[in-house]
Amino acid sequence: NAGVTQTPKFQVLKTGQSMTLQCAQDMNHEYMSWYRQDPGMGLRLIHYSVGAGITDQGEVPNGYNVSRSTTEDFPLRLLSAAPSQTSVYFCASSYVRGGVNEQFFGPGTRLTVL
């Protein structure tokens, strides 16, 4: 199993450009999430999905779109990149067993917006 994969690993964008961060998992997990990690602020939830076709907003959704057409894939779209979106982005998938929600994280995408 590859687990959770993310592409690209690094990306530099200019202000106003759009792009899609890819995330895929091969563990057949129902739940998937996108987080951003900024220094001193921990991880903040951007969007999440509880199954194919179902998505919802997290703590910091503005400027990002998601869709979940399959169980495996959960892409994150930046509509018009801004310098405030410079961050490290993590995708996670999870399952719940006995009430315990164990999240499996991808290696991250480091994004710089100039």
Partner 1 sequence: GEDVEQSLFLSVREGDSSVINCTYTDSSSTYLYWYKQEPGAGLQLLTYIFSNMDMKQDQRLTVLLNKKDKHLSLRIADTQTGDSAIYFCAESTGFQKLVFGTGTRLLVSP
Q: Report the nearest approach of partner 1 to the CB of residue 42 (Å).
A: 4
Q: Report the nearest approach of partner 1 to the CB of residue 4 (Å).
A: 7
In the region spanning residues 3 to 42, those forming contacts with partner 1, defined by CB under 8 A, are 4, 31, 33, 35, 40-42
Residue closer to partner 1 (CB basis): 14 or 42: 42
What single letter denotes the amino acid at residue 19?
M
Nearest partner of 2 among 37, 27, 33, 28, judged by Cα: 27
Of 11-19, 65-73, 75-83, 103-111, which segment contacts partner 1 by CB under 8 A?
103-111
How far is it, in rounded angstroms, from Cα 104 to Cα 81?
27
**Residue 2 touches partner 1, criterion: CB under 8 A:** no
Strand positions, DSSP E, 1-114: 4-7, 10-13, 19-25, 31-38, 42-51, 54-57, 64-66, 76-78, 87-97, 100-105, 109-113
Q: Please report, as ranges, the residues that interact with partner 1 according to CB under 8 A.
A: 4, 31, 33, 35, 40-45, 48, 50, 58, 90, 92, 94, 96, 99-103, 105-108
